[in-house]
Every structure is written in C-alpha cells, then in structure tokens.
Amino acid sequence: MREQYETVAGESVHETEVNRSRFICALAPAATEADAQDFLAKIRTEHPTATHNCFAYVVGAGAEVQKAGDDGEPGGTAGLPMLQMLMRRELRYVVAVVTRYFGGTKLGAGGLIRAYGGAVGAALDAAGTVTRRRFRLATVTVDHQRAGKVENDLRATGRDVRDVDYGARVVIGIALPEGEIEQFRGWLADATAGTAEFTLGGETYGTV
C-alpha cells in the first residue's frame, strides 16, 4: 500500500472568470467511484442551466480509478486537464466538477485547457489539502486495574485511539504508523508489567 496521499478535507466551491465565462469548481472527497458519480449528479442538479458540467475524479491510494468527462466541450479540453491537475497535485479519493456558464466569447482549445485546469488548481489552492498516512490497526487488551492509565497515556501521547470496549478485560483499538510498532510493543510491556496483550490487525489510512 502507498505510505500516504493527499486529499481534500471536505466539500468546497471556488469560482474563477475567464473572458466573462464563469468557471465554478466544486471539490469533494470520494471514497468510491459511486461517491464521485453521486457528487457529479448533485452538482448537475444544482446547476441545471449551466452550459457544461465537466468532471474528473481519482479513486484509490494508488490512483487505480481515473475518470474524466468533457460534457460537450471539445474532446480533451475540459475533463482531461482537470484530471491532470488532480494527478499533478498527487490528489487521491477526490472528485472535481467544473460548472461553466458561457460568457459569449469562445476561448479556443488552448484557452479551455488552461481555464478548466486552472479552475481546479485555484480551487485546490483555496481549499487546501490534508495528508492521509498509512496506519496499522491493532488492539491492546489489558486488565481493568491498568486500563485507565493505559488509555490516558495513549491519548496524552497523541495515539489514535479508535474505540474502548469494557468486558471481562478492556480492549482498546488503536492505529499505529508501521515504523512505530516495535517501539510501541516495548512501551506497552513496560507500562503494564508485561500483562497486556497486543494484537495486530489490518491497515487503514488516517490524517497525519
């Protein structure tokens, strides 16, 4: 799996104007291709009288899914430069929709490429991005006597505590950077006098 990637924190909208044409870029996170398509449908509903609603999205930490559409603009002048901007910025799990309201002046192929790619770039600059890093899921199982201190220490040191389950023993779900697992094992053994159990699980991505 890729160690980390950039994405957008949430939905945002940014508008630019080129020769009286309005280019409104809407950005959103997209965990799946279906999410990206749903966001595109939403934007089309919000702008039913727009001249074009062009899109690009990248899904997968390794950019496994890359799609773009020109929505009636000359082929390769809208969706592709939008997608290229997302890839150039190394964005993942993201969808961009640029809504154009024609201002009466034709921009030509080169002008359209610059306008659509530029609209996405400007929107990303305005919205900012977040880095999501690869983490390993794990559980710490400890007795009730030590659980409170262990949980407090985990939170105090900035560990990503996902959940806490109080049963016969206390099970604390956490996420750790891969490179810190062995160091964490040592700390846990010292903190609990070797009484805690540490179990590794799958992988996920989290915000740095």
Closest CA to 29 of 46, 12, 41, 15: 12
Distance of CA 3 to the CA centre of its chain: 14
The answer to whether the predicted template modeling score (pTM) of the entire model surpasses 0.85 is: no
Question: d(Cα 96, Cα 88) in Å, to the nearest integer?
Answer: 14
At CA 201, angle to CA 200 and CA 205, rounded to 5?
A: 115
**Among 104, 128, 152, residue at a domain's last position:** 128
Q: What range defines the domain where residue 70 resides?
A: 4-128
Classify strands 130-142 and 4-7 as parallel, antiparallel or unpaired: antiparallel
**Among 128, 144, 175, residue at a domain's last position:** 128
**Among 128, 146, 162, residue at a domain's last position:** 128
pLDDT tens digits for 57-105? Answer: 999 989 999 999 999 999 999 999 999 999 999 999 999 999 999 998 9
99 and 27 in one domain?
yes
85 and 169 in one domain?
no
Closest CA to 139 of 170, 177, 95: 170
pLDDT tens digits for 156-176? Answer: 988 889 999 999 999 999 999
Count of the separate structural domains present in the chain? 2
172 and 82 in one domain?
no
Task: Tell me the CATH number at 10.
Answer: 3.30.230.30
63 and 147 in one domain?
no
